[in-house]
């Protein structure tokens, strides 16, 4: 008799048109994700009603829009996105960009996204 034991602690990868993300850990009022944005891709221009975010680039570079400010971040640089701020993430490089996102707030689900502009025609909103 053969006994097979499946052990899988790897985070689940969630594919998106711009790349993918995985949740690394989660608590009652925080969530930490690893986000990979493919070259030339960008996330929707969006905001959240229930969470703020802190992004740290760990590979590549990112154009980040927060309200009226647009900034180029490179490895080991970060930005804070306050609750309700209109924001976007873009990869201007030729290699995938990787960042760590720390979310904090009272509600952290994916349906807390209000999209204002999206090149992939996704406009579901909370």
Sorted by where each begins, the domain ranges of the chain are 16-117
Which pairing describes strands 30-37 and 69-74: parallel, antiparallel, or unpaired? unpaired
| HEC sequence for the chain | CCCCCCCCCCCCEEEECCEEEEEEEECCCEEEEEEEECCCCECCEEECCCEEEEEEEEECEEEEEECCEEEEEECCCEEEECCCCCEEEECCCCCCEEEEEEEEECCCCCCCCEEEECCCCCCCCC
Q: Give per-residue pLDDT as tens, 21-37.
A: 999 999 999 999 999 99
Strand order in the sheet with 19-26: 13-16, 19-26, 30-37, 97-105, 51-59, 78-81
Spatial distance between the Cα atoms of 105 and 83, rounded to a whole number of angstroms: 8
The token pair that represents 125 in the structure block: 């909103």
pTM summary value:
0.87
Which pairing describes strands 51-59 and 78-81: parallel, antiparallel, or unpaired? antiparallel
**pLDDT recorded at residue 121:** 86
Domain 16-117 sits in CATH at: 2.60.120.10
Token pair 């990787």: residue: 98
Q: Give per-residue pLDDT as tens, 80-111.
A: 999 999 999 999 999 999 999 999 999 999 99
* % of the chain beyond a pLDDT of 70: 90
- Where residue 126 falls among pLDDT bands split at 50, 70, 90? very low
């Amino acid at each position: 008799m053969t006994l097979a034991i499946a052990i899988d602690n790897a985070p689940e990868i969630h594919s998106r048109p711009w790349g993918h993300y995985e949740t690394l850990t989660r608590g009652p009022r925080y969530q930490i994700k690893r986000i990979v944005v493919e070259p030339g891709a960008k996330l929707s221009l969006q905001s959240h009603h229930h969470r703020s975010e802190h992004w740290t680039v760990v590979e590549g570079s990112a154009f980040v829009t927060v309200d009226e400010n647009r900034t180029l971040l490179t490895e080991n640089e970060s930005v804070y996105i306050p609750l309700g701020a209109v924001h976007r993430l873009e990869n201007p490089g030729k290699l995938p960009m990787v960042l760590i996102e720390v979310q904090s707030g009272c509600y952290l689900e994916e349906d807390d996204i209000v999209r204002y502009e999206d090149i992939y025609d996704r406009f579901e909103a909370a």
